[in-house]
Amino acid sequence: VGGLLDLIPASIRYLALPALGGWALASLVIDGRPPHHALLSAARYGASAGTLAGLRPTAPVGSSIGPVASVQTAPAGDEPRYRAGRVRGPATITLRYPAQLEVTGRRPAKAVTASSPLANAKQVRVRGLAGRPLARGAQIQVPEAAEVVFR
């Protein structure tokens, strides 16, 4: 670029080009903003996280995130029922409303026996029943590689 600028006379190089550049930047409007605002926004965007979830920075796609200690769900408030979803083990689920459990598959028994009747289940389906909330919630221990399906 220096070789090209040396071909331009000094009066144009030191007076006309800076004046022309200042005029262009003063009259330029990017997305309705002055150039210095647009440049500041571009710099801020370049320095920010590349992945957002709910407009908040989050870990990039494909990265490993540690397990969640506790997730709580509750009925919407208009009726006592469980929301549809799946939970993969290992997990502990507390049922606060009456429900019917249906074991749909069994895995081969392991050498270690567990006290829970669901210890060898592949999948457990939970169907909520009408009724008042339970005085004490019933807990389900979901073993690893098993899943609980709420419907």
**Residue 40 has what DSSP assignment?**
H
pLDDT at 43: 92
pLDDT at 114: 43
Which has the higher per-residue pLDDT, 66 or 7? 7
pLDDT tens-digit readout, 41-68 = 889 888 887 788 888 888 888 887 777 7
Confidence grade of residue 78 (pLDDT, cut at 50, 70, 90): low
Q: Does residue 129 contact residue 99 with C-beta atoms inside 8 Å?
A: yes
The Cα 123–Cα 150 span in angstroms is 11
- 21: its two tokens: 């550049």
Residue percentage of the chain with pLDDT more than 70:
85
The Cα 2–Cα 118 span in angstroms is 77
Which has the higher per-residue pLDDT, 43 or 79? 43
**C-alpha separations of 20 from 11, 17, 35, 51 in Å:** 13, 5, 15, 39
Regarding pTM above 0.85, the answer is no
User: How do strand 99-106 and strand 91-95 relate by DSSP bridges?
Assistant: unpaired
pLDDT tens-digit readout, 24-34 = 878 888 888 88
Q: Does residue 149 contact residue 101 with C-beta atoms inside 8 Å?
A: no
**C-alpha separations of 68 from 46, 71, 91, 106 in Å:** 30, 7, 10, 27
